[in-house]
C-alpha cells in the first residue's frame, strides 16, 4: 500500500498570526511534528511508500524527514498549486498512485487512535472515504472519481480532530500528555506514563518539576523555577530565575524571563497566547519573552574591541610562548590535528587540555593560556575566529548534531562554558544558547576576564564533571 499526504496551507492560516514561521506539517504537538504522527500511522498500516505534497516550500520538510529511513518508509515529495483540490493532486501524482492500493491523508488535522485496535478496526476490502473526505482509500485500479461522496465512519478506534485555531491545538496537545500518550511514540525518556524528559536537561535543586510534564532536548531551568503540572516545554528553552510555567506550552527556541507566572498559555518566542480565549500578545521587551536570537550581535564596535584585545593578548603571550610553549611543542611532536567546524582551521593534539594536564609542564602552559596562542593569531589577524564566541568544536558527528540545535555558531578563542566555575562541558549547549541570547560587548569582556582568571587560580580538570541536579517529580 502507498500513501499520499496533502494539506492545503490555507487550512492552517491561523499559524501565520500565532506561530509565524512554523511549517504546518512540522507543527509540534506534544513536542512531535504533526507529520510524524502521520508517518507512525502509515507504519502501523504497513505502508512502504509515501509521498508528501505541499503548496508551499518543501525544503524544510526534506531536511527534517529525509527519505524516510528512520521510519522504514520510502518518502518522496511533490508540489501543488495553492488551492489545488485533492482530485487535482491525485491526478498530478497518478503515476505514483496507480500501481498499488492508495491511502490518502487529506488536510490539516490530527488523527486520534487506539494503537492496539486500529489495525483490526480498518477494513481495506473496498474503497471508502470518511470524516468529510479527510481519509480516503482506493484499492489498486480504482480511481478517485469512483469514490462515493458520502462519508462512512472509519472506526470507533480512531477519530479525526481538526486544528482550526490555537485553542484546539492546545487542547489536543494536553489530551495526548494526560490521556493518550500510550498510543503514540513520543519523544523523550520516561520512568512513568506522565513524565517525558529530553536529552541535556539542566536544572538546579531549587527547581521543581511536577507531572504530567513533557520537556524537550537542551533545556535549561534556572534557580527557583517551577515547571508543571500539565506543561509541555520544547527544545532549546531557557526559563530564568523565579518563573513558573503551569498548564502551558512553551515552543522551541524560547526564552522565558525572570519572575514570570505563565499559566494556561502558549508561549512562542516573543508571542504569548491565551489557551482559554486565544488572545494574543507580542512582547517587544526581550527581558520578558523572546526568541533565542538567530544571530550574534557583531557590531563594528564589538568586533573592533574583540580584535584589539586579541592582538594585545597575542603580543603579551609572544615571549612566554617562545620560551615555554615552543620547546614543549618540539618535544611533544606534531601529532595528527583535528579539524574545527566550518572554518577551515585545525587544532593540534598538543594543545588539547586533557593532554596538557597529564604533565606539570603542560599544566603550567594551561595556567598561562599559552595553548590559545595560535587561536589568538587567527582572532587578531585573519578574522576566522572571535576572541569570545561559541566554544570551539571539532568536526565530529556529535558536534555536527549539536550545531544543528543552535540558531547560530560563531566560534571564539574563549567561551561562556569554559569561564564557568564548574567547568561543566556536558551542559555546553545551554551555555551556547545563553551566550547567543545575551551577547554584548560587556558580556564578552566578563567572559574573557573570568576565563583568564579561572585558569591560574582554579586550574583545569582533565575530565568534565556532571552538574548535580535534582527536582521533585
348 forms beta bridges with: 337
> What tens digit of pLDDT does each residue of 382-398 get?
767 888 888 887 777 77
DSSP code string of 177-191: IIIIGGGS--SSB-S
Bigger pLDDT: 300 vs 130:
130
| Partner residues linked to 159 by β-bridges | 112
Q: Tell me the per-residue pLDDT of 63-88, one tens digit each, with 9 for 90 and over.
A: 899 999 989 999 999 999 988 999 99
What per-residue confidence (pLDDT) applies to 387?
87
Peptide bond into 323 cis (omega under 30): no
- Determine which helix (DSSP H) or strand (DSSP E) holds 390, and give its type and residue range: none
Q: Please count the other Cβ atoms lying within 10 Å of the Cβ belonging to residue 454.
A: 18
3-state helix, strand, coil in the chain (%, to 5): 35, 20, 40
Q: Is 436 exposed, middle or buried (0-12, 13-18, 19+ CB in 10 A)?
A: buried
Residue 470 predicted with pLDDT over 50: no
Q: How confident is the model at residue 443 (pLDDT cuts 50, 70, 90)?
A: confident
What b-and-e string marks burial along 81-105, b requiring 16 or more CB atoms within 10 Å of the CB? eeebebeebbebbeebbeebbbbbb
Check residue 247 and give left, alpha or beta (phi > 0: left; psi -120 to 50: alpha): left
Cβ burial, residue 425 (10 Å; 0-12/13-18/19+):
middle
Total Cβ atoms within 10 A of residue 212: 19
Q: What does the block give as the cell for 410?
A: 560563531
Q: How confident is the model at residue 173 (pLDDT cuts 50, 70, 90)?
A: very high
Compute the average pLDDT of residues 308-312: 89
pLDDT at 341: 60
More confident residue, 51 or 332: 51
Q: What is the mean pLDDT of residues 189-200?
A: 84
> What is the pLDDT confidence band of residue 466, given thresholds at 50, 70 and 90?
very low
Q: What is the DSSP code (8-state) at residue 11?
A: G
How confident is the model over 230-238, as a mean pLDDT? Answer: 93
Structural domains of the chain ordered from first start: 2-163 (3.90.550.10), 195-291 (2.160.10.20), 300-458 (no CATH)
CB-CB contact of 165 with 19 (8 Å):
no
Cα angle for residues 251, 9, 174 (degrees, 5° grid) = 35
Q: Is 322 exposed, middle or buried (0-12, 13-18, 19+ CB in 10 A)?
A: exposed
Q: What percentage of the chain has pLDDT greater than the value 90? A: 36
Cα(473)–Cα(212) distance, integer angstroms? 9
Give the lowest-confidence range in 31-40, 355-364, 385-394. Answer: 355-364
Phi-psi region of 46 (alpha: psi -120 to 50; beta: other; left: phi over 0): left
Check residue 317 and give its pLDDT. 84
Amino acid at each position: 500500500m502507498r500513501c499520499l499526504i496533502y494539506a492545503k496551507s490555507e487550512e492552517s492560516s491561523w499559524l501565520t498570526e500565532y506561530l509565524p514561521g512554523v511549517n504546518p506539517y512540522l507543527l509540534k504537538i506534544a513536542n512531535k511534528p504533526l507529520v510524524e504522527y502521520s508517518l507512525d500511522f502509515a507504519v502501523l498500516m504497513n505502508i512502504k511508500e509515501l509521498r508528501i505534497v505541499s503548496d508551499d516550500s518543501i525544503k524544510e520538510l526534506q531536511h527534517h524527514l529525509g527519505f524516510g529511513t528512520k521510519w522504514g518508509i520510502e518518502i518522496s515529495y511533490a508540489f501543488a498549486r495553492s488551492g489545488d483540490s485533492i482530485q487535482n493532486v491525485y491526478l498530478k501524482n497518478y503515476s505514483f498512485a496507480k500501481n498499488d492500493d492508495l491511502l490518502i491523508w487529506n488536510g490539516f488535522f490530527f488523527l486520534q487512535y487506539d494503537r492496539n485496535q486500529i489495525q483490526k478496526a480498518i477494513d481495506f476490502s473496498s474503497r471508502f472515504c470518511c470524516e468529510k473526505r479527510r481519509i480516503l482509500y482506493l484499492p489498486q485500479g480504482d480511481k478517485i472519481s469512483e469514490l462515493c461522496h458520502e462519508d462512512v465512519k472509519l472506526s470507533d478506534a480512531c477519530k479525526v480532530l481538526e486544528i482550526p485555531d490555537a485553542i484546539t491545538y492546545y487542547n489536543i496537545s494536553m489530551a495526548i500528555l494526560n490521556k493518550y500518550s500510550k498510543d503514540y511514540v513520543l519523544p523523550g525518556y520516561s520512568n512513568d506514563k506522565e513524565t517525558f524528559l529530553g536529552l541535556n536537561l539542566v536544572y538546579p535543586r531549587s527547581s521543581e518539576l511536577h507531572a504530567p510534564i513533557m520537556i524537550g532536548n537542551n533545556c535549561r531551568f534556572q534557580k527557583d523555577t517551577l515547571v508543571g503540572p500539565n506543561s509541555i516545554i520544547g527544545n532549546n528553552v531557557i526559563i530564568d530565575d523565579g518563573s513558573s510555567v503551569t498548564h502551558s506550552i512553551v515552543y522551541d527556541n524560547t526564552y522565558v524571563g525572570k519572575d514570570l507566572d505563565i499559566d494556561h498559555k502558549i508561549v512562542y518566542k516573543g508571542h504569548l497566547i491565551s489557551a482559554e480565549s486565544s488572545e494574543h500578545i507580542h512582547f517587544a521587551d526581550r527581558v520578558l519573552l523572546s526568541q533565542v536570537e538567530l544571530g550574534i550581535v557583531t557590531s563594528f564596535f564589538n568586533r573592533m574591541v574583540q580584535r584589539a584585545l586579541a592582538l594585545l593578548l597575542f603580543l603579551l603571550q609572544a615571549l612566554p610562548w617562545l620560551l615555554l610553549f615552543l620547546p614543549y611543542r618540539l618535544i611533544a611532536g606534531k601529532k595528527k590535528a583535528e579539524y574545527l567546524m566550518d572554518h577551515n582551521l585545525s587544532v593540534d593534539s598538543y594543545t588539547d587540555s586533557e593532554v596538557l594536564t597529564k604533565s606539570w609542564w603542560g599544566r603550567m602552559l594551561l595556567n598561562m593560556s599559552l595553548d590559545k596562542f595560535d587561536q589568538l593569531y587567527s582572532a587578531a589577524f585573519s578574522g576566522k575566529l572571535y576572541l569570545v564566541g561559541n566554544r570551539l568544536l571539532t568536526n565530529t558527528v556529535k558536534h555536527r548534531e549539536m550545531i544543528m540545535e543552535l540558531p547560530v555558531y560563531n566560534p571564539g578563542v574563549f567561551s561562556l562554558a569554559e569561564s564557568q566555575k564548574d567547568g561543566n562541558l556536558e551542559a555546553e549547549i545551554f551555555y551556547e544558547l545563553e551566550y547567543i541570547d545575551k551577547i554584548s560587548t560587556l558580556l564578552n569582556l566578563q567572559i574573557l576576564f573570568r576565563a583568564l582568571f579561572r585558569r591560574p587560580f582554579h586550574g583545569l580538570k582533565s575530565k568534565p564533571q556532571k552538574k548535580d541536579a535534582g527536582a521533585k517529580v
